[in-house]
Chain A
Amino acid sequence: MSLSRDPGGMRFAYLLQLGDNALILGQRLGEWVGHAPELEEELALANFALDYIGQARALFTLAAETEGRGRSEDDLAFLRDGMDYRNVLLVEQPNGNFADTLARQFLFESFYQIQLEALAESSDTQLAQLAQKVEKEIRYHLRHTAQWVVRLGDGTELSHQRMQHAIDGLWRFTGELFSANAVDHWAAESAVGPSPPSLQRPWDTLVDEVLEEATIARPESGWMASGGKDGRHSEHMGHLLADMQFLQRAYPGATW
């Protein structure tokens, strides 16, 4: 799609929102490598990270082509400043303990899978085709992620406490998943992507089912934090980027 068919850079902005969620969560998951509680779970988190980085690459490649200004997928990943990232606040939250990471993963992937199912029907053929592929990867993750929420929630007193604490602490970042900004309105109006509020009900159903199985109480929905999709991030984002971008900032153009 040429720039002339992307008035206002909306397609570019939409692809960035999707790609940044994948990139930042992939980076967070990668931080577990060498630190996970057991080898099998380290493999799982590293596999998740790999899938997310792969998805980010595919989305950034489309975004860079759409923008048509000669930037590459790597430029988009490594050479933007914090306020230019459009990921939701949830995915940039620190890893915390294992329960915090799995709770973050579950709250995001239960949303992402529903979003991908809708994107698979997108009027944008390239995006629809990519979403069909990615949806299968996330479906596989979500099974693993949901099982861990149940295993910890319905496990020992300590594991239950940690999972409940993790879900309670992250809940305030879930509202942003279902709020629509100008880019989301454009996507919904042009049938490129779902309207975020429309994903809330299927998400509630899925999350309630898993939380009940896990004997975890669903937190009251109170004040919700937002701003990530418009470039207003939490203080954690700068630290994450400093780590992720260090090599390209210190040695511009370095390659493998």
Chain B
Amino acid sequence: MTAPEFEHGVGGADSAREAEVRAWLATLPDPEIPVLTLEDLGIIRWVRSEGDSVTVGIAPTYTGCPATEVIEASVREALESHGVTEPRIERVMSPPWTTDWISAEGRSKLAAYGIAPPAEATNSKRALFAPGETIGCPRCDSVNTIRVSEFGSTPCKASYKCGDCLEPFEYFKCI
């Protein structure tokens, strides 16, 4: 796993304030997979505060993910509800978000919800004809699964079905 820790002390952020703001955001759900929190997804990258203003750095999952704006609005709203007068959001492009940043808790929540969690990112650049990873069925744990499509209902998912229990399921694809 290459999950970088949440970046503490960005722009000289005060650690008590940082912890307070993170606690406010800890329970916010992902709008498309509400069983996951933003914290589970690993997209809250840092918190910076000066006086009354608070800036939160958020890493988008996919550049075109429509959830990005909903997430930003929910963070802004949470900050305002705690009295922050100038909530600001910054999109953090680098390092780019990877599924490796999803927490262990997030991975088990995904499986319990019926979405197979991502395999570890391979990062091989030229794996054009590489065989697909073995994905376990989140319902019966069988590895006899068939990829139906490399794409799914949201940019982050692919579609599979289980060859044993025959249930279709989604796989949180790995990037």
Contacts and interface: CB of A to CB of B under 8 A. Distances in A.
A47 B94 contact: no
Interface stretch (A3-11, A92-100, A138-146, A152-160): A138-146
Interface string B137-175: 000000000001111110100010000000000000101
Contacts of B155: 47, 50-51
Interface of B: 60, 62-66, 93-98, 125, 127-130, 148-153, 155, 159, 173, 175
B63 A55 contact: yes
Contacts of A53: 64
Given A54-B65, A147-B129, 6 more contacts: A43-B153, A44-B149, A44-B150, A117-B125, A140-B175, A209-B128
Interface of A: 40-41, 43-44, 46-47, 50-55, 57-58, 117, 126, 128-130, 132-134, 136-137, 139-140, 142-144, 146-147, 150, 206, 209-210, 213
6 contacts: A43-B153, A44-B150, A47-B155, A51-B64, A142-B128, A210-B128
Nearest to A213: B129
Q: Say whether chain A's binding surface is mostly helix, strand, loop, or mixed.
A: helix
Contacts of A55: 63-64
3 tightest Cβ-Cβ pairs between the two chains A and B: A54-B64, A54-B63, A129-B94
B93 A143 contact: no
Nearest to B149: A40
B128 to A, nearest CB: 5
